[in-house]
Amino acid sequence: MPVINNTLTNLIPTLYESLDVVSRELVGFIGAVNRNSSATRAALNESILVPIVPTNTMGDNTPDITAPATGNQTIGNVPMTISKSKHVPIRWNGEEQRGMLNAGTYGATLRNQFTQAFRTICNAVETDLAVAAYQGASRAFGNAGTAPFGTAGDLSDIAGVLKIMDDNGAPPSDRHLVLGTAAMANIRGKQNVLFKVNEAGTDQLLRDGMIGRLEGAAIHNSGQTQTTVKGTGTAYTTTAAGFAAGTTVIPLITGSGTIVAGDVVTFANDPAAGKYVVAVGIAAPGSITINAPGLVAALPSGVNAVTVANNAAQNVMFDRNAIQLITRAPQMPLGPDGVPMDMADDVITLTDPISNISFDVAVYRQFMSLVYHVRLAWGVAAVKSAHIATLIG
């Protein structure tokens, strides 16, 4: 590879090769959520609104001279914040560069450095999505500490989370299930029905290890699925008031310790035996908030004991539009001509053709050395809890 000149132009093949290597690893949350990615720059803590369309209201079909003056809607929104703006530096001095060039290893080393830079940022984005997903889920299915799909020929785990999605009215057309490595290993090792081409209708899992779609959901694998550590809460009970179906705020009395966001709680005497995901927790007696759509069935009056599920791996099913990812190039100051600029000798934007994430790559020349910056600004949010469910294990 030639010595780098004044611009990044001759680095573009190396950068795209690095992107290709990394993008093919992004088969988890980044590929499954709704993405708002472009080369437009954005500042840290900048707010971007995600439109939310309300439910419709029916009207009677009554003959008249003119059409009824109905149908107006107020389109809501969920504000999202560009919460992180990060870069990964790659520094070289002239002596290091010349030595590697003489050895014929400079090009391969630089490519691997960029590969690791893209991977580092993408893993950070993937982790943020995994956290937002499980903390924003409506309810959970499965048993803490037991990886899903562990019983041969039994697909009741996916049936359980699909039931939650169906009960909550999630659209069936664009559902995704992101699994951690333990759950995926059980699918590959235990669910031989998926290997049988005459029954599965495809040889993808048998030949290539690819799941594709299972019972209407696209299956993804991610190395960043989260294993939660539950709060320390114990001996909590509800008040004796009783709570209607759909309630999300539940006052708790007695007890002690923490119940934290993402904890899965159950209530004694709950007719639906729901496993509810906590949105807002407590550190002492007070009110917890569970994610929408709230209680499936009315909780009867009387003091009902609260149980917090044990630590668990958080596999997540969701409708694509329920989780949002916004990525941008970090904002730079504007020069006299209105063009973003700083001390960089050159800046290029590379858009990953698979994930549609646009990375900013800049080079800064320093005394006897140079440094490349690979950078990205992003924000994530779970905007529709009713269309997210966790498959714990």
Q: pLDDT tens digits for 99-116?
A: 988 888 888 899 899 989
Q: Which of 171-185, 204-218, 347-361 has the lowest mean pLDDT?
A: 204-218
8-12, 111-115, 199-203, 352-356 — which one is most confidently predicted on average? Answer: 111-115
> Given this model, what pLDDT does residue 26 score?
60
Name the band, by pLDDT with cuts 50, 70 and 90, for residue 88. very high
pLDDT of residue 199: 58
Q: What is the CATH number of domain 229-309?
A: 2.40.30
pLDDT at 351: 82
In three-state form (DSSP H/G/I as H, E/B as E, the rest C), the secondary structure along the chain is CCCCCCCCHHHHHHHHHHHHHHHCCCCCHHHHCEEEEEEEEECCCCEEEEEECCCCCCCCCCCCCCCCCCCCCCCEEEEEECCEEEEEEEEEEHHHHHHHHHHCCHHHHHHHHHHHHHHHHHHHHHHHHHHHHHHCCCEEEECCCCCCCCCCCCCHHHHHHHHHHHHCCCCCCCEEEEECHHHHHHHHHHCHHHCCHHHHCCCHHHHHCCCCEECCEEEEECCCCEECCCCCCECCEECCCCECCCCCEEEEECCECCECCCCEEEECCCCCCCCEEEEECECCCEEEEECCCCCCCCECCCCCEEEECCCCEEEEEEEHHHEEEEEEEECCCECCCCCECCCCCEEEEEECCCCCCEEEEEEEEECCEEEEEEEEEEEEEECCHHHEEEEEC
Average pLDDT (37-42) is 76
Give pTM, 2 decimals. Answer: 0.88
- In this predicted model, what pLDDT tens digit does every residue of 339-366 receive, in sequence order? 777 888 899 988 887 777 889 999 999 8
pLDDT of 43 strictly over 90 = no
pLDDT, averaged across the chain:
88
pLDDT for 2: 37
Among 30-44, 119-133, 301-315, which is the least confidently predicted range? 30-44
Average pLDDT over residues 128-150: 97
Say if residue 42's pLDDT is above 90.
Answer: no
The full set of domain ranges for the chain reads 135-227+315-320, 229-309
